[in-house]
Amino acid sequence: MTKKKTSRKSVEFVRSSPAHARTHHGPRLARIISLALVAVLGFGGSVAFAIQWRVNSSLTQIDTKKYVSTPQIPKDPRAGESLNILVMGTDSRAGAGADLVGDHVGGERSDTTMIVHVSSDRSRVEVVSIPRDSMVYLPACQVGEGKTVPAQQRGMFNNAFARGWDYGGDYVFAAACTVETVQWNTGLIIDHTVIVNFEGFVGMVNALGGVDIDIPEDVTSKKAGNLKLSAGEQTLDGETALQLVRARTGSGWGLNIGSDLKRIERQQAVLEATLQTALSKNLLTDINKLTSFVTASLESLTVDSELGADDIIALAWSLKSISQDNVKFYSTPVGEDPTDKNRVVWLDAANDYWERLKVDDPIEDEPDETTECEPTDDAEDGTEPDECVSTEPSESTTP
């Protein structure tokens, strides 16, 4: 059997020299190139070493690391979890506190209460103020071993703090009764409590070197330490800032109508200015400055046992990248109490606030349903009434 020849197409290579030249000179050329490359690299390395040696030999070096402490940044113990912090500003009207607020009423009262919600990713903070004259359900609360203050179907919100203090005689019970009231009426879980006293607020502002704020119009208030502020950019020291947030009556910036809701607006403006000042001084991005500020402020604060100095620093540090635009202030939506024109009740819109905070969603802008109503000055306890809205009030706070 004869095999068929297979035809293959050939590929022609063009050579610049005879094919057999590869056999005799290829390895030699490779060795020459390799030796040249090694020589170049070696020379270059030698030159680099020589330069490095000459530079290093001209340096005077010392070792300080083992003698200098590195700032320790505490770890956020609740990283990845949202937080609800109840902040209470106390109205201590005795001694120095009385001089600052302009009266001498005895006892401890909660002058300001805010829920501070910190998002789980630490990118967002919502602050919701609760008007002190809100009529809410006051649940029973403990005021000592075996001592309980009974529930009250309807009462002013700030009576929660007063009941705890009056019957328990301690911040522990004042704060506990307030937490019980907030949790019952909102359905939120309060993770931490912070109480700030008047003298402490002054110290905190002064520790920042004052706060820069834009006053929308001339402000005067004789009862608030004879407060006088001109419209425009101002740098407020601690005492002046306190007088502004405490002012209830006078002229300018809502003082003429004596509204507690307008007072919340002024308080939030001061808080926002405080945040802006802190950010401008890199307070949240400089661990040494932050530690110094927290240390200086500790005497101003009464906090729960699970919130120590390291925890405060760690939480603040975890917010170092937050944008000021992501710190928003709100007031609980309220309407006129149908049974008392000097008091207010929470609207249905308030429930939306609480539901959003529960699931760590941002609060949307406040509803447009709010309209002012005529204020009166015949409140039974001598305080000024809140502004009110014409929307039908909610009965959600009644058990």
- pLDDT score, position 65: 77
How much is the CA Rg of the chain, to the nearest whole Å? 35
Task: For residue 30, give every residue at least 6 positions away whose Cβ sits within 8 Å of its Cβ, in sequence order, or none.
Answer: none
Q: At 13, phi and psi to the nearest 5? A: -100, 135
| Domain ranges within the chain, ordered by starting residue | 83-198+283-358
Comparing C-alpha atoms, which of 196, 214, 203, 195 is closest to residue 276? 214
**CATH 3.30.420.590 holds for 83-198+283-358:** yes
Q: Distance between alpha carbon 353 and the CA centroid of its chain, in Å? A: 18
Q: At 284, phi and psi to the nearest 5? A: -85, -10
Stretches in the chain below the pLDDT threshold 70: 1-58, 71, 91-108, 365-399
Task: State the pTM of this model.
Answer: 0.74
The whole-angstrom separation of Cα 48 and Cα 51 is 5
Query: Residue 316 carries which side chain, given as an amino acid letter?
Result: A
- pLDDT score, position 61: 73
Q: How many residues make up the chain in this entry?
A: 399
Contacts 24+ apart (CB under 8 A), 302-309: 302/171, 302/175, 302/194, 302/195, 302/197, 303/192, 303/193, 303/194, 303/195, 304/175, 304/192, 304/193, 304/194, 306/192, 307/192, 307/193, 307/194
